[in-house]
Amino acid sequence: MSQLGYWEPKTSNIDWCEDNYYISYYIAEWYNSLSNLIPIFYSIYILYNLKFTYNNINYYHISYILLIFVFIGSFCFHATLTNVGQMLDEIPMLITNVYMIYLLDNYNIKKLIYNIILKIIFILWMYYYPKSPLPFQLSFIVFNLILFSKVFNIIIKYPVLKRKTNLNKSIFYYIIAIVCWLLDLFFCSYLKYFYLHSFWHIFSYIGCLHLLNFIFIYLSFINSKILPKYFQDLNY
């Protein structure tokens, strides 16, 4: 049963299945919030293994830094259920979408500009219709379709990459994540105490790790660059 908490009143345009403030007066959705800590700390661990410093930053580091911001934003959203927290969740997700497409386009600036303009249109739509989750959800779907269409085109063009990467695992974990998201949304009364939205965070993150691995292998393949040792030894 939901209770009143520190961040009331709720100003986000969506409230997930988990009861609000049931465990903590300061955290609206306990399990949905804490499930973000695993991706945050694991991404920090990856940056540590990549020997990240401000002097050697590259697209490997930027990718995981963006993921850290995505899950920090997600924590803020689920902990507060405020409009500000929701924006901190959704905007980093949209930026990460655009950046991953930029990598798949092999740093094509013209395509990047086009995608940024399209994303700004969606963000303005979100701003002018703050009470509707539809603008963000549609934007997220559109850009993920763009992203995976590019991935599949790359596989068709370079079939050897399918054998060199764990792309099938990425798709598998994304499917599990989406199923968890949908079940939590539409069957809440039956599955409330499974906290399936928290599993959406975990499985979507694992899918994203495999997708980034695919992108990095693709970029090293077409640009004849050697992958960092961390990715050569990767086996998750």
CATH code where residue 38 lies: 1.20.1070
Amino acid at the residue 226: I
Q: Are 61 and 47 in contact (CB under 8 A)?
A: yes
Is 36 domain-assigned?
yes
Number of domains in the chain: 1
Is 9 domain-assigned?
no
Residue 98 has pLDDT above 70, yes or no: yes
Confidence band of 169 (pLDDT split at 50, 70, 90): very high
Query: What is the average pLDDT value for the chain, to the nearest integer?
Result: 90
Residue 216 burial (CB count, 10 A) = 21
Q: Are 51 and 44 in contact (CB under 8 A)?
A: no
Is 25 domain-assigned?
no
Mean pLDDT, range 113-135, rounded to an integer: 88
Q: Is the pTM of this model over 0.85?
A: yes
Confidence band of 235 (pLDDT split at 50, 70, 90): low
Residue 234 has pLDDT above 90, yes or no: no
Helix (H) or strand (E) holding 126, with range, is helix 109-128
The packing angle between helices 59-80 and 196-222, to 10°, is 170
Is 69 domain-assigned?
yes
Is 199 domain-assigned?
yes
Q: Give percent of the chain with pLDDT exceeding 90.
A: 68
Is 129 domain-assigned?
yes
Is 181 domain-assigned?
yes
Enclosing domain of residue 103:
30-232
Q: Note the pLDDT of residue 228.
A: 66
Residue 127 has pLDDT above 60, yes or no: yes
At residue 182's C-alpha, the angle toward residues 92 and 128, to 5°, is 45
Q: Is the dihedral of CA 212, 218, 223, 228 positive or negative?
A: positive
Is 3 domain-assigned?
no
